[in-house]
Amino acid sequence: MKTVPFSYDKLKKIISEFPTPFYIYDEKAIRENVRDLMKAFSWNGGYHQYFAVKSTPNPSILKIFKEEGCGVDCTSLTELILADLCGFSKEEIMFTSNVTPSNEYVLAKNLGAIINLDDTTHIDFLNNCAGIPEIICCRLNLGEDIKYQDKVVINFRSSKFGSTQDQIYDGFGYLQELGVNRFGIHTQFGAHKRDADYFGNNSRKVFRFVIDLYNNTGIKVDFINLAGGLGIPFLPDDSPANIEAISYSIKKAYDETIVAAGLDPISLFTELGIYMTGPYGYFVSSVLHVKKTYKNFLGLDASTNSFMSPARYNDYYHITVMGNENEACNCVYDVTGALCEDRDRFAVNRLLPYTKEGNILVFHDAGAYTYSHSYNFNGKLRPAELLLCTDGSVKMIRRAETPEDYFATLKF
C-alpha cells in the first residue's frame, strides 16, 4: 500500500496557497534515506554518494544532499554552475559527461571537479582546452551483455557510453605520462534493478577489471564509481530495494576480488538519482473535466508536458484520489491532459474510485526524472515545485512558469 506524507485536509490547505498542479518533495524522507544509504556502505571507508543532479535539478534539493554529506554528479555546463552555486566544490563534484564541449571541460577543471572521461580519445582535447588534472576517471564499457533473469538489460556493444578495456589500459598509461597520479574507474550496469545479487555479480566484473588493469599497467585506482541504476518499487505490490542486502552483496564481491588481490583499500562511489528522491516526490493535479464517450476520461489541470514519464516510457505511476483512499477502485478511467496529442495520458484503463470534477489526484514516485523531463509543447507551462519541510511546513522552491517566461527568449 502506497501512502502520502500529508492528510487530505493538509493537502487542501497547501492547495489553498499553492494551486495545482505542482510537485511536492518530502524532505524528512529524503534525509532518512540518505542516512540509511551511508550506514549500509559504512564498511567502505572511502564511500561517497554523488547525487545525480539531472534527476531533480533544484537547489533546495541539492542543499539537502550537501548537508547530508553527499556530492553531486553533473553532466553539463548548467549542472556544474548549479553545483557551484549550491556550495559544492572540488572532489564533491563528479563530472560525468559525453560528447563534451571545451567550455564544459574548462569549467569542470576550474571547479576542481573529478572529470570522468567517457572517451579516452578526449585526453588530448581536454589537455589542449583545460589541461590535465592530477586526478581523473575513465568510463568503462564492459563490451558484453548485462543480463537479468535471462533478459538483456544493457548491451554494452551498442552503447554510446564508455571506452573499451584496451583503450583504458592505453589511456591510463598516457594520462600517467601527462602527470595524473590518482585514477578512478566508472561504469554503469544498473538499470532500475533492486535485486542484491544483480549488483553483487556485476560489481564483481568491475572489480576484476580493476585487478587486470593493475596487473597490465601497474596502476592502482583510488576509487571505483559504480554509478546508479538502483531502482524503486513503482507498483503497489513491489518490494523496495534492500540497501543493506545490496551493500552486503557488493562487499562480498569486493572481499573476494579486491581484498583477495591485495588492492584494498579502494573507495567506492555511487551516483544514485531515482533511488534517492523518486519515492519521496509527488505530482499533484486536480480533475478539471470528466468526459464520457467510448471511454471515461479524467481531464486534469495538468498535461504530460509537466509529467511526461507515463506517456513517453509507459511507466506505471500509482494514483491516489485524495479523500477517496478507502473507497473501492471499481471505475475505469483514462487520465489525460490537454495537449493536442493523443498520447497525452497519465494512465490508461486505470481502476480508481469514482472520481468527479474537483477531485485531487496524487501521483506517487514522482521525485526524480519527472520535472527535469518537462517541456513546453503547445505552449504549456511547467508547474511549481514545493518542499514539505521536516517541521511540517511547506515552501515553494520553484514557482510555476508564466507566459512571460515562455516568451522571454524570443527576439521579436
Q: Do 262 and 284 reside in the same domain of the chain?
A: no
User: Residue 287: is it exposed, middle or buried by C-beta count within 10 angstroms (0-12/13-18/19+)?
Assistant: buried
Domain count, the chain: 2
Q: Do 182 and 118 reside in the same domain of the chain?
A: yes
Could you tell me if residue 33 is inside a domain?
no
DSSP class per residue in 305-330 = TTS-HHHHH-----EEETT-TTS---
Q: Do 187 and 312 reside in the same domain of the chain?
A: no
Give the residue among 46, 49, 43 at the shortest CA–CA distance from 68: 49
The residue-averaged pLDDT of 54-60 equals: 97
**Residue that is written with C-alpha cell 549488483 in the block:** 199
Give dist(CA 401, CA 395) in Å, integer: 17
* Residue 69 pLDDT > 80: yes
pLDDT digit string (tens) for 216-227? 999 999 999 999
pLDDT at 188 (0 to 100) = 87
Q: Do 144 and 220 reside in the same domain of the chain?
A: yes
Q: Do 354 and 381 reside in the same domain of the chain?
A: yes
| Upper half-sphere CA count for residue 4 (Cβ side, 13 Å) | 27
Strand partners, 224: 185, 268
pLDDT at 144 (0 to 100) = 78
Question: Would you put residue 358 in left (φ > 0), alpha (ψ -120 to 50) or beta?
Answer: left
Question: Would you put residue 143 in left (φ > 0), alpha (ψ -120 to 50) or beta?
Answer: left
pLDDT at 314 (0 to 100) = 67
Q: Do 320 and 341 reside in the same domain of the chain?
A: yes
Could you tell me if residue 30 is inside a domain?
no
From the CA atom positions of the chain, what is the Rg in Å? 23
pLDDT digit string (tens) for 293-322? 999 999 999 999 999 888 666 679 999 999
pTM of the model: 0.95
- Domain around 74: 41-272
Could you tell me if residue 309 is inside a domain?
yes
Least reliable range by pLDDT among 38-42, 128-132, 141-145: 141-145
- Look up the CATH number of the domain holding residue 251: 3.20.20.10
pLDDT digit string (tens) for 338-390? 999 999 999 999 999 999 999 999 999 999 999 999 999 999 999 999 999 99
* Residue 212 pLDDT > 70: yes
State the catalytic residue, choosing from 70, 329, 340, 389: 340
Q: Do 82 and 53 reside in the same domain of the chain?
A: yes
Could you tell me if residue 311 is inside a domain?
yes
pLDDT at 178 (0 to 100) = 96
Is residue 340 part of the annotated active site? The answer reads yes
Could you tell me if residue 1 is inside a domain?
no
Q: Do 340 and 231 reside in the same domain of the chain?
A: no
pLDDT at 157 (0 to 100) = 78
Residue 388, number of CB atoms within 10 A of its CB: 24
Give the residue among 400, 372, 402, 397 at the shortest CA–CA distance from 387: 397
Task: Give start and end residues of each alpha helix (H) in 5-154.
Answer: 8-17, 27-40, 59-67, 77-85, 102-111, 122-129
